[in-house]
Structure 1
Amino acid sequence: MAAISAQLASFKSFSSLLNDKKCSRFRCQIKSFGNQHSNWSVEFLSGKESVHLIRNSSPPISMAASAAGSAVKPAKKVCLFYCAETEVLAKRIAAESDAIELRSINWRTFDDGFPNLFIPNANGIRGQNVAFLASFSSPAVIFEQLSVIYALPKLFISSFTLVLPFFPTGTSERMEDEGDVATAFTLARILSHIPTSRGGPTSLVTFDIHALQERFYFGDTILPCFESGIPLLKNRLQKLPDSDKISIAFPDDGAWKRFHKQLQHFPTFTKIKWMDIIWKFSFG
């Protein structure tokens, strides 16, 4: 106890309090001392030379920790739009979370076949996080969906995310002869011109794109996010009773280079090499 008094008295502020006759009593708190991390209080009474060291029964809870514990971050609400081909998938996604609100679009056409589109309750999505589940399954449906994709960010929404499960022109990503048209770059340029929303550039989510370098086909006004369904496939295959007998066949060397690292738990081979083996085995 004397050592504690001597150590505290070495501080100028504490010494002034000891010599101050107007100060009859003061109390301070020590959260840790030496290797002990218990909660202690030091109490001094004027007119006495002793200092009382009191151990509190329970440590105090800081206001910051209490506020952090009581504050629950609300779930991020998302308004999900969809096209006719992705309606079933959109409903399944919305059923998985209460934070997703389905919104529909009136997909109509004029007599000449061109789109006659309408977004119901457009004012109701102002300030909301909006996503569109697209499907570019054929050139006939791309234009009408692009019309909606270009219109949604301009409705004063907080953020916009385009979910394109399949990037249809991904395999046409390079030129082999002069005159070849890399349509993957063309579609990437079209999507790069989607207007920005209040929150910034559009986020593009697509799955298992043909080549990872296609990321650089997009401009700076869109943020491509490449996801993969291979982990889901691998998880499903590993649950099969005869998973130890499964081998993965790739159609060519390009597919092997793209995905073999994600499927390295299974024996793999390419179709070309396997056909060479069959040919040599059959015809010598």
Structure 2
Amino acid sequence: MESSNGEAAMEKQRKDIHLFYCVESEDLARKVAAQSDCIQLQSINWRSFDDGFPNLFINNAQHIRGQHVAFLASFSSPCVIFEQISVIFALPRLFVASFTLVLPFFPTGSFERMEEEGDVATAFTMARILSNIPISRGGPASLVIYDIHALQERFYFGDHVLPCFETGIPLLKQRLHQLPDADNICVAFPDDGAWKRFYKQLQHFPMVVCTKVREGDKRIVRLKEGNPAGRHVVIVDDLVQSGGTLRECQKVLAAHGATMVSAYVTHAVFPKQSWERFTHENSEGSDKGFAYFWVTDSCPLTVKAIAGRAPFEVLSLAGSIADALHI
């Protein structure tokens, strides 16, 4: 009884939040709102003129004055970014008390390197755009991002926004503890970058680290350290594109005695339906593929595409986002 009273008291202390969302993120937005009575969904009319440019209208604009406002974005392709940026820049100027942008997947983050003169660092460009979100009555906008691809990207944002970097790893840990073989889990990283990003959050699991080595014109995945023999090995990374590296890691781990191999990525990008290569019906027997493939709902289009298809299982960020909105 005391704990329920305590939870009720905490809920009363939470601020009321008006949550807007893009078309792609509607399902996730509804899940976020279901986490708390303090989060109220608001809508936008996403219309276009005959020439294709956005014709947008923020509903209830008068009623959000003095209120805490958030926007749940999904930058899945360049064609949807501009209309969302237009809304993101408009909302803080409606005399709101505070503004929070939730962008679970920072998509240009895999293009942060400039290896030769002429390369364009689109991650830095996007960070500069988002750093210029107008200041609301309560101060700089907050920006919530999950498992950003390159750690240095957190320093790309200017002082006019307050980046809040979250992670989906707690969802994975919770799911792993529910498995029947939870005491036999080993975590594997496909490269040193993934190890640096996640090892501190997974230190209580035995670990395996893989690496890519060049042999002629090919890059081969090899086992660098750790012993997967007799273990259910879970490969952990921040995102997947074609999935080639994950497949090669799976083969290497199985060859070194792993009894089962699964995978987790926060961001299931999977361009050109590359997720299809991981479904059990497309594997050479499910025992030769992945037992589980966990992803979050940071990429809404992928989530819809893989619904009900083994071995995929979606771990929702909704609860974590709801908590982040109350920070």
Whether the TM-score (by the shorter chain) exceeds 0.5 is yes
CA distance in 1, matches of 2:147, 2:195: 13
Shift of 1:86: 0.7
Counterpart residue number, 1:106: 45
Counterpart residue number, 2:110: 171
Q: Per chain length, whose mean CA-contact separation is higher, i.e. which structure has more relative contact order (CA < 8 Å, sep 6+)?
A: 2
Q: Which moved more, 1:129-138 or 1:234-243?
A: 234-243
Counterpart of 2:59 in 1: which secondary structure? coil
1:143 aligns with 2:89: no
Counterpart residue number, 1:254: 193
Counterpart residue number, 2:164: 225
Spell out the pairing of 1:149-188 with structure 2 (5 A cutoff): 149-188=88-127
**CA-to-partner distance for each residue in 1:121-162, whole Å, 9 max, x for gaps?**
211100000000001111111111000000000101000000
Q: Which moved more, 1:112-121 or 1:187-196?
A: 112-121
Shift of 1:201: 0.4
Counterpart of 2:108 in 1: which secondary structure? coil
Counterpart of 2:143 in 1: which secondary structure? strand
CA distance in 2, matches of 1:275, 1:153: 47
Counterpart of 1:146 in 2: which secondary structure? helix
TM-score, length basis structure 2: 0.60
**CA-to-partner distance for each residue in 1:149-196, whole Å, 9 max, x for gaps?**
000001010000000111111122232222222111111000001100
Shift of 1:212: 2.8
Counterpart residue number, 1:30: none
Spell out the pairing of 1:1-284 with structure 2 (5 A cutoff): 74-272=13-211, 275-277=221-223
Q: For structure 2, list consecutive stretches of 5 or more residues without a partner in the other structure.
A: 1-8, 213-219, 224-251, 257-327
Q: Which moved more, 1:255-264 or 1:125-134?
A: 255-264
Task: State the one-letter code of the partner of 1:276.
Answer: R
CA distance in 2, matches of 1:120, 1:275: 52
Shift of 1:197: 0.3
Provide the aligned C-alpha RMSD in A.
2.2
Q: For structure 1, list consecutive stretches of 5 or more residues without a partner in the other structure.
A: 1-69
CA distance in 1, matches of 2:221, 2:135: 50
CA distance in 2, matches of 1:187, 1:231: 27
The aligned length equals: 210
CA distance in 2, matches of 1:256, 1:178: 30
Distance 1:247-1:91 versus aligned 2 partners, 3 A rule: same
CA distance in 2, matches of 1:75, 1:191: 26
CA distance in 2, matches of 1:158, 1:170: 30
Counterpart residue number, 1:50: none
Percent of counterpart pairs with the same letter? 71
CA distance in 2, matches of 1:221, 1:168: 21
CA distance in 2, matches of 1:203, 1:109: 28
Larger-gyration structure (1/2): 1
Q: Which moved more, 1:145-154 or 1:108-117?
A: 108-117
CA distance in 1, matches of 2:14, 2:174: 28
Counterpart of 1:272 in 2: which secondary structure? strand
CA distance in 1, matches of 2:199, 2:118: 32
Task: State the one-letter code of the partner of 2:194.
Answer: A
CA distance in 2, matches of 1:241, 1:119: 48
CA distance in 2, matches of 1:199, 1:85: 28
CA distance in 2, matches of 1:203, 1:75: 17
Task: State the one-letter code of the partner of 1:140.
Answer: C
Task: State the one-letter code of the partner of 2:160.
Answer: T
- Determine which structure has the larger strand proportion and give its number: 2
Shift of 1:114: 1.0
Task: State the one-letter code of the partner of 1:100.
Answer: I
Q: Which moved more, 1:82-91 or 1:240-249?
A: 240-249
